[in-house]
């Protein structure tokens, strides 16, 4: 399997043009966010080229974006604004990048599927959040079968029970998963990992669709 830090480096230019600057999915469900973000310290996990980080900054948050991909972070820094702090690091190794000051909240926009170590990532989120701090994430719905040409959470033909990293030469040729793959986890795996990390869910959202396409949640650190 490719090293996680290399996957998006190779496709950063393509990805930047592919998504342009579309608003993040979480922005369409802003009721998940606190009513006031001004002055809140927020960590944007797997921030990529900074779409979610920039959105949070427009709401007045003090934003730190963290990602493994130097190429994607280059896109984020070039887009500005200068008051967003971007850090190239592995979220799971928080002792390497965290200064010990708790964050009020964390976000992760459509990126947990790209993180190999889900347990380590969620444990790190819980560690850097203040008590009662919030964690809002969006993922490709883990129950979505899709097709070889459409959005799918798991390998076409292999089924829901097969967890782990996958890619497919038959997947949507215009999309991202044929390029960088994804880590499929069952819904129960996500929910148990959140609970095990001390992140208690208090809200879930499934945007309207003929089949479940996305899943969003808000958790609180115990």
pLDDT digits (tens, 9 = 90+) for 157-206: 788 999 999 887 766 677 777 788 789 999 999 999 999 999 999 999 99
Q: Given this model, what pLDDT does residue 151 score?
A: 63
Q: For the chain, what percent of residues have pLDDT higher than 90?
A: 68
What are the start-end ranges of the E strands in 100-198?
Answer: 103-109, 129-140, 164-166, 182-184
Mean pLDDT of 104-114: 95
Q: Which of 47-51, 60-64, 144-148, 186-190 is predicted least confidently?
A: 144-148
Q: Which of 197, 201, 199 is nearest to 216 (CA)?
A: 201
177, with CB counted inside 10 A (0-12, 13-18, 19+), is buried
Backbone angles phi, psi at 106, to 5 degrees: -135, 150
- Domain assignments of the chain as residue spans, ordered by start: 4-221
Q: Given this model, what pLDDT does residue 153 score?
A: 81
pTM of the model: 0.92
Q: Given this model, what pLDDT does residue 6 score?
A: 60
Q: Is 162 in a helix, a strand, or coil?
A: coil
Q: Is 148 in a helix, a strand, or coil?
A: coil
CATH superfamily of 4-221: Vaccinia Virus protein VP39 (3.40.50.150)
């Amino acid at each position: 399997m490719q090293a996680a830090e290399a996957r998006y480096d190779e496709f950063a230019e393509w990805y930047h043009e592919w998504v342009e600057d579309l608003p993040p999915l979480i922005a369409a469900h802003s009721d998940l966010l606190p009513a006031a973000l001004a002055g809140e310290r927020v960590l944007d996990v797997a921030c990529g080229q900074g779409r979610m980080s920039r959105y949070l900054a427009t709401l007045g948050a003090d934003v730190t974006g963290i990602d493994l991909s130097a190429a994607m972070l280059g896109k984020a820094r070039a887009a500005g604004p200068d008051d967003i702090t971007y850090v190239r690091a592995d979220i799971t190794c928080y002792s390497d990048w965290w200064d010990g000051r708790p964050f009020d909240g964390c976000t992760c926009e459509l990126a947990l599927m790209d993180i190999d170590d889900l347990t380590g990532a969620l444990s790190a989120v819980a560690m850097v959040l203040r008590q009662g701090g919030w964690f809002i994430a969006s993922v490709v719905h883990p129950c979505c079968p899709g097709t070889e040409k459409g959005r799918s959470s798991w390998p076409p033909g292999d089924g829901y029970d097969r967890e782990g990293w996958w890619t497919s030469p038959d997947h949507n040729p215009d999309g991202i998963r044929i390029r960088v793959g994804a880590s499929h986890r069952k819904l129960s795996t996500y929910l148990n990992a959140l609970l095990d990390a001390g992140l208690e869910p208090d809200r879930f959202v499934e945007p309207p669709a003929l089949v479940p396409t996305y899943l969003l949640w808000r958790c609180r650190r115990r």
